[in-house]
Structure 1
Amino acid sequence: MNHLGEAHLRTWTLRFMALLAAETRDQLAWLGEHELETKDVVEEVELLCRVSEELAERGAFEPEDMRNLRAIGRRLGEIDATRRVGLWDNALTTDPAWDDIRSLARQFLLARLGDWRQPLPRSVPPHTGDR
């Protein structure tokens, strides 16, 4: 992995953690009219947690960061297949696992950046095929 790729993955991890750490109402507002599947969110965060292991070996994350990311990965792993079905906005308001994940993401950001309140990533509009 090159330095540019590492920086991009580190930034994406921090941005996604900011989304996970946000208040539920802010997460729902960020989702807006986008239909994001819960399974896709879980898979994305699990991937970021795994990639972060390699980034930590290269010095991009500290051991405490990795403890927090591993805790998030473990909690995500506890979400069974039936609770991964459906839209994420529904899961955010009905599945208490997301409250736990929110707390863990806040711990990660607090340790890493000194504050869990971070700007949410820009929401990318769906591709319409128009140029």
Structure 2
Amino acid sequence: MSVVDNDYWKRWTARFLAVLAAGPSDQLTWASERQVRTAAVADDVEFILHLAEGMAERGTLEPEVLQGLREIDRFFGEMDVHGRPGRWADALTADLTWSEVRTLARRILVARLGEWCLPLPRRVPPQHVYD
């Protein structure tokens, strides 16, 4: 992975962590507007953890960040979010473990960026390719 790729994935990870770190009302609004599925959030956590493990092996990600991401993944496993079809907005209000995930995401962002309160990502419409 090149330095450019590494920087891209660090930024992508920070945007996703910003969603996990956001306050409950901001998360509910964001998730409801985008109709995010709980399983999709879990898939993103697994993807980010996979990326983070590779970056840590190359020495481009701090071990404490990797540990925090592993803890978030563990919470997702305990909540069995893959076994819960449905909207993330509904899951946010149903399980108190989201508060612990939020705290971990904030801790990671503060360690990496000095702050946790970041703008939530905007939805990017799909690109249409016409022949």
Normalised by the length of structure 2, the TM-score is 0.86
CA shift for structure 1 position 12: 0.7
8 Å CA contact 2:38–2:88 kept in 1: the answer is yes
Displacement, 1:11? 0.9
> 1:128: how far off?
9.2
Greater mean deviation of Cα atoms: 35-44 or 107-116: 107-116
1: CA distance between counterparts of 2:30 and 2:2? Answer: 31
Letter in 2 for 1:54: G
Identity %: 44
Provide TM-score, normalisation by structure 1.
Answer: 0.86
How many matched pairs? 130
What residue identity is the alignment partner of 1:112? R
Q: CA deviation at 1:115?
A: 1.5
* Preserved contact between residue 36 and residue 88 of structure 2 (Cα < 8 Å): yes
Q: Deviations over 1:32-77 (max 9, x none)?
A: 4321110011111111012101112223311111121111111111
Structure 2 runs not aligned, ≥5 long: none
Q: How does 1:84-95 map to 2 (within 5 A)?
A: 84-95=84-95
Distance 1:124 1:77 in 2: 29
- Please show how residues 17-32 of structure 1 align to structure 2 within 5 Å: 17-32=17-32
The alignment's C-alpha RMSD in Å is 2.2
Paired residues of 1:35 and 1:87 also in contact (CA < 8 A): yes
Shift of 1:82: 6.9
Report if the CA contact (8 A) 2:20-2:101 is conserved: yes
Q: Are the counterparts in 2 of residues 46 and 76 from structure 1 also a CA contact under 8 Å? A: no
Change (3 A) 1:68 1:81: closer
Counterpart secondary structure, 1:33: helix
Aligned to 1:51: 51
What is the rounded CA distance, in whole Å, between the counterparts of 2:89 and 2:98 in structure 1? 11
Contact 2:20 2:102 in 1 (8 A): yes
Q: Which amino acid aligns with 1:76?
A: F
Distance 1:119 1:76, change over 3 A: same
User: What is the one-letter code of the residue matched to 1:58?
Assistant: R
User: Which whole-Å CA distance do the structure 2 matches of 1:28 and 1:81 have between them?
Assistant: 17
Q: Which amino acid aligns with 1:69?
A: L
Aligned 8 A contact 1:31 1:123 in 2? no
